[in-house]
Structure 1
Amino acid sequence: MQVILPDEQVHEIQLLLSNLIKQEIEQILNNSNIESPFLNKKQACQYLGIANNTLDNWIDKGLPKIKIGKTIRFNKFEVNRWLESQ
């Protein structure tokens, strides 16, 4: 079955889809909290573009981390500085 729509409706559908995609991307970016100067392990992996195992290896090699109880955070400034020194 084929549906033929007028150009105006096709354009409306394209705009709706575009807006939905834009909203979804904005929501993902807002939820990732990547703008914060401090990152959790998942965010650090996303920020650095590496796997969790690689992050653990880098921590063992001296990647700066902040540990509060069982919570680990990474300061982006310190992470960048560490990367530049490697």
Structure 2
Amino acid sequence: MVDKNLKSIEKNYAVKSRYLNKKNACIYVDISEPTSEKWLVKGLPITKIDGTFRIDMQEIDKFMIETEYERRMKTSEKFISVCSIPFICFYFVISVNYFL
């Protein structure tokens, strides 16, 4: 019984290959399938290998780094546009750093 449970866990949660199907890619980064669909629309590369679509783990890592960079750049653009008044600028820096 224990051996059967261990095999089930391994089958469902182990990442065995660099190229993952969508389900294992979601497990790898702990996201839902609808979120993975959004990432694919935003440009996460997908590869067709032997008739099945796979997502490269390295591409997932790269995509996450790039989207984090873009998010931080958008935050800094908001910072620049708000900082015309010194007091507001000081308050905004504190509040933005609190959430990062």
For the aligned pair, the TM-score class normalised by the smaller chain equals 0.5 to 0.7
TM-score scaled to structure 1, two decimals? 0.62
Which residue of the other structure, out of 31, 42, 52, is the alignment partner of 2:11? 31
CA distance in 2, matches of 1:36, 1:30: 13
1:60 is matched with: 41
Q: What is the rounded CA distance, in whole Å, between the counterparts of 1:72 and 1:57 in structure 2?
A: 16
Where structure 1 has 5 or more consecutive residues not aligned to the other structure, the ranges are 1-18
Alignment deviations for residues 22-64 of structure 1 (CA, whole Å, 9 cap, x no partner): x323x13532451210100111111111111110010000011
Q: Return closer, same or farther for 1:71/1:48 CA change in 2, 3 Å cut-off.
A: same
Give every structure 1 segment of 4 or more consecutive aligned residues whose post-TM-superposition deviation is greater than 3 Å: none
Q: Distance in 1 between matches of 2:63 and 2:24?
A: 17
**Gap runs ≥5 in structure 2:** 68-100
The residue number in structure 2 matching 1:81 is 62
The sequence identity of aligned pairs, in percent, is 31
- Alignment length (residue pairs): 65
- State the one-letter code of the partner of 1:31: K
Partner of 2:24: 43
Distance 1:38 1:69, change over 3 A: closer
CA RMSD of aligned residues (A): 2.2
- Give the aligned residue type for 1:46: I
SS at 1:83 equivalent: helix
